[in-house]
Structures are given as C-alpha cells and as structure tokens.
Amino acid sequence: MISFFKNWRTIFGLSVVILVDILWEFLNEVPAIWDMAYHQLLGWSYLEAFRSGTLASEFAILSPIYPPLYYLQEAFVFSFFPESDFKILIVNLPFILLIAYATYRISNLFLTVSSSGWAPVLVLLFPVMSMVYREALLDGALAAWVTAGAWLIIRSRWFIRTGWTLCFGLIFALGILTKWTMPIYLIIPVIFGVVVSGKPTRAIKNLMLAFFLILPLVGFYYLPNLANMVSRYPTTEQVGLIPWLPYPRHGEPGLNNIWGWIYYPRVLSSYFLFFPLTVVFSIGVFRRKMIGPVKGFVSGKIPLFLFYWLFSGLLFLIFLSPKDPRFALPIVPPLAMLLLYLWDDRPRLIRLIVFLAFAQSLSFSLPLFRPVKLALFEVEGDKDYQSLQKEWVLYANHYFHLGGPPTKENWKLADILELIHDSWFQLGIKLFVKPLQREVFRNRIFAGSTLVSVWSGLENGVPTADLAPTELAPSDQTQLQWPKWGQFYETGGLAGEPPNIPEAERLLELNSMWVTASDRREKMKIWHEMLSIHADQVFTIGLVAGVPQPVVVSKALRNVPEIGLYNWDPGAHFGIHRPDTFWFADK
C-alpha cells in the first residue's frame, strides 16, 4: 500500500485540479446568486454573531433551515479573508482534500496502484463536482463527510473496532450538522457492514455506543429547530416523502412517470460522466458480467460495499420530492471507483478514462471555446431550468448559467465615472477609479473599507404616494450609503448598528408612519418630507437618470407601445404594458 502523499498520480492530479480552481476564481467576476449567495450570507451572519458576543444564544436560530456547521467554517475563513476572491475556495479546500483522501484510502484496498492513484482525481474532475467546490454550497461538504464515513466503516472492520466506530459516529454527526440528508447515503452500507462483520451483535453495540455519544452534539442544533423543521417541510411539500406527484414549485418529476424513476441515473450520466464515460462504464459492466468478477470481489467485500453505497443514494434520493443534480454528489465517489474497477486490468483504458475526464473538466472550467451543449429531450428556449427534468446531456461545457467557464461582468460603471472625471476635476475633485468584482465590492462596503462607491440608484423611477418609500430609509444592507444601519433594520437589531444621526432616524420613523397611514394626503406628505431630507443631506449623488432602453420588437407583433415605461419595481419591465394583450399578425 502506497501512502496518499507518495502516490505521484494523486498528488499531481490534485495539484492540477486545485490550480485550475484558482485560475477559475481569478478569472471569474460573476457574484454568487441564489443558494450560493444565501449560504454565504449565513456565514457572514454567524461571524457577526461571534463578533457581537451572541453566537451561543443564536447558534441554533440563525439558520433554522440548514444546519450550521458549514456556516461556522465560512465565518472562520471570512474573519481572516473578508475581501479575498478565493475565500470560498479556501472554505471548500478541506473538503476537497478530505474526499480525495478518503477515496484514495478505499480504492487502495482493492484497486491497482495506478487505478487507486487516479481515483480521487477522477472524483474531482466530474463537471458538476468541480462546479460545487467553487461555490458556497453544502453538497460538496456533505459528499466529503459521506466519503469519510464510508472509509471509516471499512477501517473499523465493519464496526468491530470500537475506536474507529466512534470515529465513524463523529464523522456521521458532522455530516448531519452540515445537511440532514447525510443518513440516506449510508443506510444500506451500514446494514451491509453489520451483516458481513461476522459479529453483528458486537457491531450493533459499537454503533449504539457511537450513536449515544454523538446525540448531544447533534441535538444541540436539531432540538431547538425540530418543531420548525417538522412544520416547514410537510406544509410546503418541499422535502417530505411525497414522491408520487411532481414537485409543486420546480416541476421535478414524481414517481407517477418514468422520468421520476430514472432521474438520478440520468443525472449521473448527464452532468458527471457525459456520453463518452457513460459508454465506457456501460461496456465495463457488460464486460465484467461476461468474464466474471476478479478474484477477491466477494471475499474482499469492497466493490460490493461500493455498489450498495451507490444503490443507497439512488434509492432514497428518488423518494425526495425536490430533485437536483447536486444531491447526487455523495454517490459520485463510489461511481468513480467502480468505473476504475471495471477496467482495472486494462491500464491503457484507465489512462483513457482519466484523459477523457480531464478534457471534459478543462472545457467546463476554462473559456476555451463558446458554450456548447449536446442533449436529448432538451426544453427549447428553457429559461427556468425545466430541461433538468428530462434532458439527457451527451456533452456540455456549461451547466445552464450557474456553472461553467468563468465570466466577466460588464456594468460600464467605470466608463461612466471616466466621463464625469474632467468636470469634477474642475471643481477640485479628482477621481481614482478602482473596479472590483461585485462580491468583493459588496464585502468591502459591508466591512466599511470603501468610503465612496458607485452603483445603480433608486429602483422606483415613478414614485407615487401609494408606493412604499422604503428605499429612502436605511432598511437594507445593500444600500451602500448605510449598510450597517440597513443590516440593523433587516435583522431586527441582531446585527449591524442603529442609525446615529437624527435624519436617518427620522427616515425610519417616517417609513413606519407610511405603513400605518390610511390617508393618501398623509402618505404624500411623508414622501415629500423624506425626499426633502435626502435633498438636504445628500446621502447619495445622482449621476444619470431617465436613460432610454431600446427594445427590439418583431414586425409582426402588435399592440406594443412605441414609447413606454421600462422599470422593474414597479412595472416588472414589460409587465406594466400587459404583454398578454400583445398578438402576432398574420404574415
């Protein structure tokens, strides 16, 4: 057995993977969105609670939906690297190394030196796997804990060794404190371990001991949130065992049609293997069936264990109503090891598998060519990820707009500042423009490191007395002129700072008065006073307003106004013009 740190294939492959991740982070300028932004925000919330001395009292309530372990790690990294573009990669680096190490230790028990050296690298080369470890997502951390737990099942001699079984219990607890779905991937592997241990009574006793030791650790978070979780999930049908009907919000297929049953096998082929490696895997299964298992398949138990690990995830994931390719990450390590096992006696095929995986990963990670996607059953003009429910991807170098090669933002704000440079200089104001990636820009604002910034102004371009004047009051952390005050308002005083000038306090007071005002004249009076405060205090300096928005309209489309309002809130861009009344004339 060669040490993890002495296998040149593993060290070389991991070095390349991490270097590509660093290069991707260096080139990418698009900020985190959706779940990625939410998980980062909670990391900052835990850091703020630690700094304010309220972490102990708020530990279980800051994140009532997801367990807090990942956020605590984020908070730790954010405290040292608050402005770094690479902070999420730093957060995920321990999980990258953990999943690689555990995969290597398992594969080294039954694969050749060459195959076991490439196994941890292959796991990290699959496209969606590489995407997740570049973002603030729980699934990458969960995959690492599941893989470490699987290795400890084997290391404990199938729960016969008490010390290693307790270590398994600790890893299991850390996984549950990352995401509650941890058990579904290891239920069948645990049963398999007890059965093949030869001493099931002793194995069960050790497991029970591990369970009782970790119960206080897990209960510290789950007990205060149990009532909330029980009421939340069945009520919204988001994570309950309600598999027969499609998921109500995103339309994931239920088990009343074939697409629900094959969802995750299709996902493994479409977003991890792609067509070339799917073919290699399928031929390998057929070939192994024809020639019979290699010596040690049953006696060694490891390949069977990997099969049950893969099967456990596929089986129980099917019965979760929400479905997402990310949820399959914890079953990617057994998939990779089984792929190598099927061709372990053919070194050239092993090298081909690694080469194909590396080529696919590189095209997914770097801007080598324009976006490409070859898929069956793809939804034409998909704007809401509906293709995820049926498409069978043969190859793609991107994952919708959420993953793929790095991209740059193009906000033209630096160009606008250059245009006003000369006129401001005549007033004695010299501008030094420093463009920043949006995430770094906002973090510097939140930390108080940036004193003057430029961004889009008020969203409401057509104010009336009946529209809320919330934007004029310090009510949101992303209002760059007073982020701490906005955070204080958003969190109900749990984070941030209260306004310390009378004008800002008055704005909040007026905003509350508008909410309770019943008379339109009173609301109009409140609006005028708030606008007067802004004009007097000049919290922000306006630069550009009323910019025309060109819109291209088909010659056959009728009832579209020649000139109209283009505003998001209020207006919903085209929504205010009732696009349901547009119609196409006969050509």
User: Residue 74 and residue 479: Cα distance in Å, rounded?
Assistant: 24
Residue matched to tokens 């001699």: 157
Q: Is 497 helix (H, G, I), strand (E, B) or coil?
A: coil
Please answer whether residues 29 and 129 qualify as being in contact, where contact means their C-beta atoms are separated by less than 8 angstroms.
no
Closest CA to 18 of 103, 144, 125: 125
Token pair recorded at residue 512: 């509350």
Please answer whether residues 407 and 392 qualify as being in contact, where contact means their C-beta atoms are separated by less than 8 angstroms.
no
How far, in Å, are 346, 580, 584 from residue 553 at the CA level? 59, 15, 11
The mean predicted confidence, pLDDT, of the chain is 85
Sign of CA dihedral 238, 243, 247, 251: positive
SS3 content of the chain, % helix, strand, coil (to 5): 60, 5, 40
Residue 402 Cα to chain centre, angstroms:
9
**Residue 267 identity:** V
468: left (phi over 0), alpha (psi -120 to 50) or beta: beta
CB count within 10 Å of CB 47 equals 21
Q: What percentage of the chain has pLDDT greater than the value 90?
A: 47
Residue 313 Cα to chain centre, angstroms:
20
Please answer whether residues 99 and 123 qualify as being in contact, where contact means their C-beta atoms are separated by less than 8 angstroms.
yes
Domain boundaries, the chain: 4-379, 413-537, 548-587
Token pair recorded at residue 193: 């371990």
Q: According to the model, what pLDDT value does residue 541 have?
A: 86
User: Residue 12 and residue 125: Cα distance in Å, rounded?
Assistant: 13
Furthest C-alpha separation in the chain: 87
Please answer whether residues 64 and 228 qualify as being in contact, where contact means their C-beta atoms are separated by less than 8 angstroms.
yes
Q: Is 557 helix (H, G, I), strand (E, B) or coil?
A: strand
Q: What percentage of the chain has pLDDT greater than the value 70?
A: 90
Token pair recorded at residue 173: 């607890």
Among 174-188, 380-394, 551-565, which stretch is predicted with the lowest mean pLDDT?
Answer: 380-394
Is the pLDDT at 149 greater than 90, yes or no?
A: yes
pLDDT in tens, 164-214: 999 999 999 999 999 989 999 999 999 999 999 999 999 999 999 999 989
Q: How confident is the model at residue 237 (pLDDT cuts 50, 70, 90)?
A: very low
Is the pTM higher than 0.85? The answer reads: no
User: Residue 134 and residue 89: Cα distance in Å, rounded?
Assistant: 6
Task: List residues bridging with 510 in a β-sheet.
Answer: none
Q: According to the model, what pLDDT value does residue 382 have?
A: 61
User: Residue 500 and residue 486: Cα distance in Å, rounded?
Assistant: 12
Within 8 A by CB and 6+ apart from 431, the residues are 417, 420, 421, 424, 425
pLDDT in tens, 40-71: 888 988 998 898 888 888 887 788 788 999 99
Closest CA to 276 of 216, 215, 352, 343: 352
pLDDT in tens, 73-117: 999 999 998 878 899 999 999 999 999 999 999 999 999 999 999
Alpha helix (H) residue ranges in 177-262: 182-196, 200-236, 258-261
